[in-house]
Amino acid sequence: MSRRYPSTIAAPVEHELVERKSRFIAQVAPVSSPQEAEEVIAAARRRAWDARHHCVAMVTGLLGDQARSSDDGEPSGTAGIPMLEVLRRRDLTDVVAVVTRYFGGIKLGAGGLVRAYSSAVSEALDLAAPVRREALTQVTVAVPHGDAGRIDNLLREWAAHHGATLGETSYATHATFELWTPAAELGRLRDDLAAATAGALAPVVGGERVVDVPGRG
């Protein structure tokens, strides 16, 4: 059975939650490293320099094995850790969440803060486009130029129904199509190509890599 990888998100999102006059502005963004996450945090602090708190949670690494959180002056355990738990529950990595709080003059208590910070992140993530990560195997198919249009259509249709994604196409003496497919589907691909071309084409299997598959968290 292939390894399952945490997902990420396609693009930054922002969401505001108001709780008893306090404003909680959540920004959630995809990042490629802890250093990039720090840049997102620094930018949030600059934009909202007059806010009382900028609480943070981040998860990074292909397996989501690096994590950090900060309460930024809120009572210990009421902001950063609840935000981090939301990211963990969503099985996300390479994501940073920053919640900026403008205090409204009414204290929320520990329970209220936990709910507000976690809800702000959760509701922001509801707006995000998910990106699933999975290990796919490279396959190349070389065809005569006269058959390129037909095979291109065939592979696009096949990929859409078998969890695969198309890579680059190169043109030299032949048109060579690249396809990234789940290992479990390799046999079916061989069979379907053989059936569609009377056995004239067979895929060449290459290496494996983890790829992003947008829209399927």
Q: One-letter amino acid identity for 203? A: P
Mean pLDDT of 192-207: 84
- The pTM (predicted TM-score) of the whole model is 0.75
For the record, the structure tokens of 207 come out as 């290496």
In this predicted structure, the answer to whether residue 136 has a pLDDT above a threshold of 80 is: yes
pLDDT tier at 146 (50, 70, 90 boundaries)?
Answer: confident
| pLDDT recorded at residue 42 | 96
Residue identified by tokens 């809120």 is 74
26-57 pLDDT, tens per residue?
999 999 999 999 999 999 999 999 999 999 99
Shortest CA distance to 80 belongs to which of 33, 37, 121, 124?
Answer: 121
List, in order, residues 6 or more apart from 137 with CB less than 8 Å away. 180, 181, 182, 183, 186, 205, 206, 207, 208
In this predicted structure, the answer to whether residue 102 has a pLDDT above a threshold of 90 is: yes
- Whether the Cβ atoms of residue 141 and residue 179 lie closer than 8 Å to each other: yes
